[in-house]
């Protein structure tokens, strides 16, 4: 049977529109199956813990399981590669961190461009670092450290979690801004035992890693690295109170592959914002020294770009190369 031309054109247009309609309907029904949240660090670390707390809250709010997948390796680059190669359908997400901003300059031959190849969804939290020293080290404040350091250049060992880690770069920024020379000692594993034993004198450490030792008097906290004092250590000053403009913190947020539909990004962002406003989650975050930090996707994207440039200047200025 031969169809009239107008009827044929109408049928053809309808067939062409079907995939678009299907994608829109699928996005509006999101999520209809479990969502995978990739983490670029080992289990039980800060980012993993934040991801599991957030995932649990999102599962309750959106009615689907949020499965946390730890894929450590190459300074979080393996996890990021997995994210940028995933379908942009909202079912694969990445718990991004300050490492992603650092790696953009630290590594020369990445197989992705983090800013170009991802879609910002939501900022999650900021976690201050705390500048801690062994109690036998004869300084009790940041000004004393600066004075002592200038009088003893190259004689103070600083533990880090590896070249280019947030801990390392926080120390490099401190050195740049104070003209104090510290000697980085890079660890592949735990640095806290050597810090407790006095093999190294100080570290810029995530609060959850050393807060119990600080409370027990086994380490001395000199200052936190965020612009405002930490609720976890309210009596400890900020470095910025002595070194104007200093700021270095670990941030975490959720990103999706480039091209993820706006309706899915918006739905995820709304659910995450609601989770961050929940006193239960706020209390859980506080227990590990983290503070919820909400941003619009656009503002989060701008923040990532600014942080990438900030740490890029530190890395280039100190000629820091990945191992």
* Residue boundaries of the structural domains of the chain: 26-127+250-317, 128-241
Please state the CATH superfamily assignment of the domain spanning residues 128-241 in this structure. Periplasmic binding protein-like II (3.40.190.10)
Quick: pLDDT tens for 120-173. 999 999 999 999 999 999 999 999 999 999 999 999 999 999 999 999 999 999
What is the pLDDT averaged over residues 286-299? 93
What CA–CA distance (Å, rounded) separates 80 from 304? 15
Give pLDDT, residue 208: 85
Encoded tokens for 155? 């004689």
Task: Please report which helix (H) or strand (E) contains residue 46, including its range.
Answer: helix 46-62
Quick: pLDDT tens for 200-241. 999 999 998 899 999 999 999 999 999 999 999 999 999 999
Class of domain 26-127+250-317: alpha beta
- Residue 140 · residue 219 · CB < 8 Å: no
What CA–CA distance (Å, rounded) separates 283 from 292? 10
Virtual torsion, Cα 108, 109, 114, 118, nearest 10 deg: 170
26-127+250-317 and 128-241, same CATH topology: yes
Confidence band, pLDDT 50/70/90 cuts, at residue 14: low
- Residue 115 · residue 308 · CB < 8 Å: yes
Q: What whole-number percentage of the chain has pLDDT above 70?
A: 92
């Amino acid at each position: 049977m031969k169809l009239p031309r107008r009827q044929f054109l109408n049928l053809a247009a309808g067939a062409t529109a079907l995939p678009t309609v299907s994608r829109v309907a699928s996005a509006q029904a999101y999520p209809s199956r479990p969502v995978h949240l990739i983490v670029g660090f080992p289990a039980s670390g800060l980012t993993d813990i934040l991801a599991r707390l957030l995932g649990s809250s999102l599962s309750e709010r959106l009615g689907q399981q949020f499965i946390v997948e730890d894929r450590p390796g190459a300074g979080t680059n393996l996890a990021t590669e997995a994210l940028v190669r995933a379908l942009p359908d909202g079912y694969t997400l990445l718990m991004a961190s300050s490492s992603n901003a650092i790696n953009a300059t630290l590594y020369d031959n990445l197989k992705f461009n983090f800013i170009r190849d991802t879609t910002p969804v939501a900022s999650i939290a900021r976690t201050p670092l705390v500048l801690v020293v062994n109690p036998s080290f004869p300084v009790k404040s940041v000004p004393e450290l600066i004075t002592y350091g200038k009088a003893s250049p190259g004689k103070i060992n600083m533990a880090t979690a590896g070249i280019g880690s947030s801990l390392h770069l926080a120390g490099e920024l401190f050195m740049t801004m104070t003209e104090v020379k510290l000697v980085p000692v890079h660890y592949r594993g735990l640095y806290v035992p050597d810090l407790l034993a006095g093999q190294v004198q100080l570290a810029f450490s995530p609060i959850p890693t050393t807060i119990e030792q600080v409370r027990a008097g086994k380490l001395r906290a000199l200052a936190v690295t965020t612009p405002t004092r930490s609720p976890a250590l309210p009596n400890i000053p900020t470095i910025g109170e002595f070194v104007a403009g200093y700021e270095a913190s670990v941030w975490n947020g959720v990103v999706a592959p480039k091209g993820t539909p706006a309706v899915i990004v918006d739905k995820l962002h709304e659910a995450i914002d609601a989770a961050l406003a929940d006193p239960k989650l706020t209390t859980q975050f506080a227990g590990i020294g983290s503070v919820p930090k909400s941003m619009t996707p656009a503002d989060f994207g701008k923040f990532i770009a600014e942080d990438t440039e900030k740490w890029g200047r530190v890395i280039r200025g100190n000629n820091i190369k990945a191992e």
